[in-house]
């Protein structure tokens, strides 16, 4: 049989219980006061003039201001305008980032130069990261306020240009906005490689008409390569490798006559290599590795007399190697492996004196006896 607790202990327990009840009641009272305060503040949004609300909420950081749109319809209406986005960003952008629309441009970094100029981006800050995830009106406002005179955009993780500054960079996330064309309209370099960007490449990229280099490789971009990219007529390097791009290689890409490097490998591109690929007579590097390309190797490819590296392994290319491949006198490295080429390896290949690497494994090619002595002098995989 259990003995009842001593009177003093029973009184102590009752006293503790009363303290706990009082504490809980006070906490509930405090929470109620806080909620009432918040509701009161929110209710004020229904009576204050729009202009005053804009001035008040412009002081709130952009991330928070965007989140406040969900509170009620009034805030969604007031904080959801292009004018408020402009005011909000202008309030918070650092002075050295702020651009006055129409103020003109600076010299920045020279085309194809590698010096850090006054109009060159450093590691992306919170505003730059927001450019890829914030609503369209904020993206458009950033294009005007922050990027109007930017000439070099290098936000690649592990960039070789500024390795000491990129070691701690945070990957960019989100999608390429349609505002990218207006934002980087004055940029010579647009380097966004090795991030976590997804979605399609917007056709507005055509507005980046000054670009010499566009590098979007090693992201998660999808959809087709926009034909409008051919309007970036000054391009010398286009790198879209290591994404999930699909569809054909747009034939319009062959109008980029100043192109020197074209990297489209490790995607899901299909269809033929454009017949007019030979129009890219300045091309030095062509990489179409591991896609689903089919059809034959265009005869016009032999007009690429400055091409040094030809990488097209891991596709479904058929037919014969062009007999006059010897016209491609600058070739150093050629990888045709893992395709469905057939016929005879052209004898004229031994006339390409710069060639030092040739891979043809995984095809149905025969090797002429006349070529064997030459192949023994280079790195050759049959």
The encoded tokens of residue 260 equal 């020197």
User: Which residues does residue 152 pair with via DSSP β-bridges, in sequence order?
Assistant: 120, 189
pTM of the complete model: 0.82
Q: How far apart are CA 298 and CA 307, in angstroms?
A: 15
Nearest residue to 154 (alpha-carbon basis) of 100, 96, 185, 194: 194
Place of tokens 């049959």: 382
Nearest residue to 322 (alpha-carbon basis) of 349, 287, 286: 349
Q: How far apart are CA 31 and CA 379, in angstroms?
A: 76
Nearest residue to 86 (alpha-carbon basis) of 43, 148, 37: 148
Q: How far apart are CA 330 and CA 340, in angstroms?
A: 25
Gyration radius (Cα) of the chain, Å: 31
On whether the CB atoms of residues 136 and 177 are closer than 8 A, the answer is yes
**330 φ, ψ (degrees, to nearest 5):** -90, -5
Per-residue pLDDT of the chain (382 residues; tens, 9 = 90+): 445 544 443 444 444 444 433 444 454 444 434 333 444 445 676 778 989 989 999 999 999 999 999 999 989 999 999 999 999 999 999 876 554 443 333 333 333 443 444 456 678 999 999 999 999 999 999 999 999 999 999 999 865 444 444 445 679 999 999 999 999 999 999 999 999 999 999 999 999 999 999 999 999 999 999 999 999 999 999 999 999 999 999 999 999 999 999 999 999 999 999 999 999 999 999 999 999 999 999 999 999 999 999 999 999 999 999 999 999 999 999 999 999 999 999 999 999 999 999 999 999 999 999 999 999 999 988 7
On whether the CB atoms of residues 133 and 173 are closer than 8 A, the answer is yes
Give the 3-state secondary structure of residue 258.
coil
Nearest residue to 208 (alpha-carbon basis) of 232, 241, 230, 189: 232
- Match domain 120-381 to its CATH number in 3.40.640.10, 3.60.15.10, 3.80.10.10, 3.40.630.10: 3.80.10.10
On whether the CB atoms of residues 154 and 120 are closer than 8 A, the answer is yes
């Amino acid at each position: 049989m259990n003995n009842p607790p001593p009177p003093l202990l029973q009184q102590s327990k009752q006293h503790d219980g009363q303290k706990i009840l009082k504490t809980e009641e006070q906490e509930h009272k405090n929470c109620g006061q806080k909620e009432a305060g918040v509701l009161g503040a929110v209710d004020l949004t229904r009576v204050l003039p729009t202009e005053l609300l804009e001035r008040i909420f412009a002081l709130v950081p952009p991330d928070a201001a965007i989140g406040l749109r969900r509170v009620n319809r009034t805030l969604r209406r007031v904080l959801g305008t292009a004018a408020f986005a402009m005011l909000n960003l202008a309030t918070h952008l650092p002075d050295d980032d702020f651009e006055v629309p129409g103020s003109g441009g600076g010299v920045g970094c020279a085309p194809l130069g590698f010096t850090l100029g006054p109009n060159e981006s450093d590691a992306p800050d919170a505003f730059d990261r927001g450019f890829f995830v914030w609503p369209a009106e904020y993206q458009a406002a950033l294009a005007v306020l922050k990027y109007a005179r930017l000439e070099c955009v290098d936000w690649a993780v592990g960039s070789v240009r500024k390795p000491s500054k990129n070691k701690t960079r945070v990957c960019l996330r989100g999608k390429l906005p349609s505002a990218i064309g207006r934002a980087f309209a004055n940029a010579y370099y647009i380097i966004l490689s090795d991030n976590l960007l997804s979605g399609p490449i917007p056709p507005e990229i055509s507005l980046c008409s000054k670009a010499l280099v566009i590098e979007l490789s090693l992201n998660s971009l999808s959809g087709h390569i926009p034909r409008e990219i051919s309007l970036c007529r000054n391009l010398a390097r286009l790198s879209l490798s290591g994404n999930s791009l699909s569809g054909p290689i747009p034939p319009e890409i062959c109008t980029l006559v100043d192109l020197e490097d074209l990297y489209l490998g490790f995607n899901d591109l299909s269809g033929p290599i454009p017949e007019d690929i030979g129009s890219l007579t300045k091309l030095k590097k062509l990489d179409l590795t591991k896609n689903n390309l089919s059809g034959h190797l265009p005869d016009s490819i032999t007009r690429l007399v400055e091409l040094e590296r030809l990488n097209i392994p891991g596709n479904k290319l058929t037919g014969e190697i062009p007999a006059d491949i010897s016209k491609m006198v600058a070739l150093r490295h050629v990888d045709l492996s893992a395709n469905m080429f057939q016929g005879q390896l052209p004898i004229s290949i031994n006339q390409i004196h710069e060639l030092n690497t040739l891979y043809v494994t995984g095809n149905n090619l025969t090797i002429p006896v006349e070529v064997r002595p030459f192949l023994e002098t280079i790195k050759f995989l049959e």
